[in-house]
Amino acid sequence: MQPTRINKYLSEIGYCSRREGDKLIAQGRVTINGKKPELGTKVTSGDRVAVDGKDVQPHLRPHIYLVYNKPVGVTCTTDMRVKNNIIKAVNHPHRVFPIGRLDKPSQGLILLTDDGDIVNKILRARNNHEKEYVVRVHKPLTAKFLKKMRSGVPILDTVTRPCVVQKVNTHTFRIILTQGLNRQIRRMCQYLSFNVVSLKRVRIMNIHLNLPIGEWRDLSDNELHVLNGLLTDSTKEE
């Protein structure tokens, strides 16, 4: 085994995503040979890695890929101390973690897995992977609002990428993003003086939402095959 950064190691063995790994390290919950590492510390063969005092080991079974229709009120975190966390809500018999996030007030499609490699490929913003949402706002849509949403809105010290926005009815629109900025759609709407009433994610790349709220299923073989094809040219590095 080549020396590997601890967050990457936790991701590659299917324990959690790199981002979650960074959080665990920062919280002092990870040890290497009994000592708390820094973010850049590397793991080598023979090292004993533990989280919350429990050794973590690579698994030998096939990876798990789940599709989940997250209800409003569920928090996308693996921290079991958080009330209504997604791990308790899904209650899968094996350890899985969410690919990215869907904020607590939002509903809809989120993927969970124990495959850190696919997580990093999907989450890299420069990979331009599509995510589609249906959004309802508190007042009637205007042509000006739709145009500005499509062309880019200044939030979080940047301007959002041009995106596809389609009016559904008086108060509702569909939007397809290739970015994953924090609470992006809500911030975009707020900047234009529109408040989000409801937000539902209905698609991630080739995966469509087709489940009742609160239920999950395994990714089909065909969905996984197509997804891997779409990820072929994606980078998983920072």
The catalytic residue positions are 103
Angle (CA) 21 27 31, round 5°: 70
Q: Which amino acid is at 199?
A: L
99: left (phi over 0), alpha (psi -120 to 50) or beta: beta
Residue 147: exposure state from Cβ atoms within 10 A (0-12, 13-18, ≥19): exposed
Distance CA 86, CA 109 (A): 12
Helices (H) and strands (E) in the chain, counts: 7, 16
Q: Are 198 and 185 in contact (CB under 8 A)?
A: no
